[in-house]
Structure 1
Amino acid sequence: MNIVAITLGFAIATLTGLGEKRVTAITVEVGIQNRTLAIAIASTPTLLNSPTMAIPGAIYGLLMFVTGAGFAWCASRRQDLLKA
């Protein structure tokens, strides 16, 4: 799901003709934004009130930072290559 979100964020931002830095920022934001919401919904007493249901959100959060960091690294390498 995270890789799909990153791919869609990148594709849509690129198709709209935004600059390279904005495309990178939007892609990273779309790729890492859902973890906090999932944990909040699962843990809030007025919503689900189930810490057990927050576990998948926490695991997803760890994985999304790995894929987000990978994308950011690739984007920075690409910008370095374009400058050279």
Structure 2
Amino acid sequence: MLGVGLPICVQCGTAGNPCRCKVVGPTVGFLALAAAAVVEWPLGAFIYCFGRHVKGRRIMAHPATVVYPSVNRAIPI
């Protein structure tokens, strides 16, 4: 039986906690990015195809530029 692996993201060198490493914030941020990307990337591509290039690019970039950083910063460990 094959198990489904949970992506674990580690960010070291931060000053947000005493051990200077974050595991939970980046991992939850990645999962939030993936969930938002499932919806926003096809929508952005659809809008891009109909001539709204700047708006389509902005929608497709939203998970990486807004969702991931905000979730990552919200969880300090």
TM-score range, shorter chain: 0.3 to 0.5
Q: TM-score, normalised by structure 2?
A: 0.38
**TM-score of the two chains, using structure 1 as the length reference:** 0.36
Higher helix share: 1
Q: Which has the higher contact order (CA 8 A, sep 6+)?
A: 2
Greater share of residues in strand: 2
